[in-house]
Amino acid sequence: MNVALFVPCYIDQLFPDVAWASLELLEKLGCQVSVMESPVCCGQPMANTGCWDDARPLAESYIESAQDYEYVVCPSGSCTSMIVNHYHDLVGSSSEYEAVQQKTYELSAFLVDVLQVHSLDVSFPYRVGLHQSCHGLRELRLGSSSEVMGQEFSKARQLLELVEGLTLVDLKRKDECCGFGGTFAVSEEAVSCMMGNDRINDHLQAGAEVLTAGDMSCLMHMDGLIRRQNKPLKVMHLAQILAGRKPG
């Protein structure tokens, strides 16, 4: 299977081990993986602040680069959602873009829906709290939202349940926003921090030792609050746990 790994800019610059873990995990599961070199960003920061002319070349570059691969996998729900749900605002509709929409997957969705992973040779003997990001739930349907009636599901949780020794803790508000929201954390700093602390405290009261998610942006926001307050909680991306990393 010819798979491209699209590494978000903030992971490339700040959390490169998440990219390495994603690569190692996909290769371990039998994929032939190439790292997409262009574009360097999905364009979401620019698009969210109204700088569409700056975001458009990145969207065009992604669509062109993705043509060469059977699938493109991204370890970020927000970046994936930008690509599959919002590029039409930048480039319009075309057969090329529609093809890219069909082949671009967030990491957990690719593992569950395409590779149909039912077992993982990995152990992680820790108590883990799962943060399910807003983009993943509301735009990619990676899990069920509490405001929607129906059977509960979570693709990330399904994968974590395959990990030997891992205990998932029960949160009181399991799909609440962490408050990051990209530029929202800058324009509404106080509200963002209060929301982040609420999420952290929910994990702590549940007895979590590690807080995980499929979006490193959410984890970056909460990890900053955790470190500043010296709270006893580690932060790890889902890919790191599934690839066999241990808490640092």
Q: Is the pLDDT of residue 183 over 90?
A: no
Residue 121 lies in a domain: no
| Structural domain boundaries enclosing 160 | 127-242
Residues 104 and 134 reside in one and the same domain:
no
pLDDT score for 174:
86
Residues 110 and 131 reside in one and the same domain:
no
Peptide bond into 39 cis (omega under 30): yes
Tell me which of 203 and 1 has the higher pLDDT. 203
Structure tokens at 82: 């930008």
- Domains identified in the chain, total number: 2
Contact 212, 159 (CB under 8 A): no
CA 157 to the chain's CA centroid: 13
pLDDT score for 184:
83
Residues 146 and 85 reside in one and the same domain:
no
At how many degrees (to 10) do helices 189-205 and 216-228 cross? 80
Residues 16 and 58 reside in one and the same domain:
yes
pLDDT tens by residue, 16-70: 999 999 999 999 999 999 999 888 999 999 998 899 999 999 999 999 999 989 9
Residue 120 lies in a domain: no
Cβ-count burial of 207 within 10 angstroms (0-12 exposed, 13-18 middle, 19+ buried)? exposed
Residue 91 lies in a domain: yes
Residues 6 and 98 reside in one and the same domain:
yes
Residues 216 and 133 reside in one and the same domain:
yes
CA nearest to 135, candidates 200, 34, 217, 66: 217
Residues 195 and 139 reside in one and the same domain:
yes
Residue 89 lies in a domain: yes
pLDDT score for 163:
98
pLDDT score for 188:
83
Residues 22 and 76 reside in one and the same domain:
yes
- Give the pairing type, strands 210-213 and 234-237: parallel
Question: Rounded to two decimals, what is the model's pTM?
Answer: 0.94
Structure tokens at 21: 């873990």
Q: Is the pLDDT of residue 187 over 90?
A: no
Helices and strands (H, E) in the chain, number of each type: 14, 8
- Of the residues 114, 136, 171, which one is the last residue of a structural domain? 114
Residue 248 lies in a domain: no
Structure tokens at 204: 């702590």
